[in-house]
């Protein structure tokens, strides 16, 4: 009941603002509130789009951050999301508030492909500058270092020592669980073997595949901080994964993290910034 009422109020306020907006927005000070509101819409659109691509595209296709070429897929995802957020920001400013489209985003690139490429490249550069890694926007795999894996500590077949556990807690508080990215409301971070011990044991016991003969028989392992929820999910998955006559669906070891937000999910109002930068460079 309250949802439609709130939406109706919001629409009414937006339309009331839109009625005031035309003709009175001749100076930057007049346009600024509408531009800030449009930027706010872009701020929500960018991480939402990244999350949707992760859940609706990467997960069904079983594409995780552990794959070769995951950085390229991540780059495409960031570029598409950046273009979508810029299009929504421009559209909001131009249509909802009836601001003159050319006056709010008057960059030199006019064609759709050119504009999409410009916004995609600029979004990717901003994403990198804010500390993002393209592979981090793909889902994590429970049997590989996750999307948020940063600093791993060298590991053996034994459990982590008390000193390593302390170091991993510090890394976990800073970068979050390496699989799902959760940092807050985590009781404790567990030292997670990657690749998991069960995977390494299985690989050592079975006959090696032809391509494994060129690499190490026993892969190098490392510890990463993992939250208890992901640890339990991983344990449940591994319990069944290597049982004879039981095959777990491949997507079972994939963990999505659309709500784990970081600084690099911040969207800058590119449609407003690019003309300013162009003007600054031209002067």
| Window 245-274: contact mask with Zn ion (x via CB under 5 A) | ------------------------------
| Distance, CA of 166 to CA of 187 (rounded, Å) | 14
Asked if 179 touches Zn ion (CB under 5 A), the answer is: yes
Nearer to Zn ion, 41 or 222 (CB): 222
Asked if 180 touches Zn ion (CB under 5 A), the answer is: yes
**Helix (H) or strand (E) run with residue 119 in it:** helix 112-129
Find the part of the chain contacting Zn ion (CB under 5 A) among 61-69, 173-181, 246-254, 273-281.
173-181
Closest-CA residue to 261 (of 54, 35, 30, 11): 54
Asked if 92 touches Zn ion (CB under 5 A), the answer is: no
Do 152 and 222 touch, CB atoms closer than 8 A? Answer: yes
Closest-CA residue to 227 (of 158, 167, 176): 176
Nearer to Zn ion, 180 or 199 (CB): 180
Binders of Zn ion in range 217-246 (CB under 5 A): 227, 230
Asked if 136 touches Zn ion (CB under 5 A), the answer is: no
Nearer to Zn ion, 141 or 179 (CB): 179
Asked if 142 touches Zn ion (CB under 5 A), the answer is: no
- Say if residue 25 is exposed, middle or buried (CB neighbours under 10 Å; 0-12, 13-18, 19+): buried
Asked if 21 touches Zn ion (CB under 5 A), the answer is: no
What number of chain residues touch Zn ion (CB under 5 A)?
A: 5
Nearer to Zn ion, 63 or 147 (CB): 147
User: Least distance from C-beta 184 to Zn ion, angstroms?
Assistant: 12
Q: What angle do CA 33, 38, 43 make, to 5 degrees?
A: 120
Q: Binder to Zn ion among 75, 177, 190, 268 (CB under 5 A)?
A: 177
| Distance, CA of 61 to CA of 98 (rounded, Å) | 41
- Integer-rounded Cα Rg, in Å, for the chain is 24
User: Least distance from C-beta 226 to Zn ion, angstroms?
Assistant: 6
User: Least distance from C-beta 148 to Zn ion, angstroms?
Assistant: 9
**Scanning the structure block, which residue is given the tokens 């290597």?**
242
Q: What angle do CA 67, 126, 280 make, to 5 degrees?
A: 150
Residues that bind Zn ion (CB under 5 A): 177, 179-180, 227, 230
């Amino acid at each position: 009941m309250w949802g439609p009422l709130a939406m109706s109020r919001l629409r009414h306020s937006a339309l009331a603002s839109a009625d005031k907006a035309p003709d009175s927005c001749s100076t930057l000070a007049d346009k600024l509130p509408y531009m800030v509101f449009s930027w706010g819409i872009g701020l929500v659109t960018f991480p939402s789009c990244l999350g949707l691509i992760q859940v609706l595209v990467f997960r069904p296709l079983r594409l995780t951050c552990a794959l070769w070429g995951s950085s390229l897929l991540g780059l495409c995802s960031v570029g598409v999301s950046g273009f979508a957020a810029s299009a929504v920001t421009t559209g909001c400013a131009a249509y909802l508030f009836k601001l003159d489209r050319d006056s709010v985003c008057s960059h030199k690139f006019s064609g759709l492909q050119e504009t999409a490429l410009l916004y995609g490249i600029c979004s990717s550069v901003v994403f990198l500058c804010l500390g993002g890694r393209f592979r981090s926007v793909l889902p994590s795999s429970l049997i590989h270092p996750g999307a948020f894996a940063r600093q791993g500590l060298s590991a053996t077949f034994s459990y982590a020592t008390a000193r390593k556990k302390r170091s991993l807690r510090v890394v976990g508080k800073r970068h979050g669980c390496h699989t799902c990215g959760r940092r807050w409301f985590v009781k404790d971070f567990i030292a997670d073997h990657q690749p998991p011990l069960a995977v390494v044991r299985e690989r050592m016991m079975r006959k090696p595949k032809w391509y494994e003969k060129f690499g190490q028989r026993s892969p190098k392992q490392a510890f990463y901080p993992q939250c208890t929820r992901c640890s339990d999910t991983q344990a449940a998955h591994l319990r069944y994964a290597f049982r004879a006559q039981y095959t777990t669906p491949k997507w079972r070891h994939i963990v999505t993290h659309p709500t784990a937000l970081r600084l690099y999910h911040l969207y800058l109002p590119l449609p407003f910034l690019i003309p300013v930068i162009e003007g600054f460079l031209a002067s």
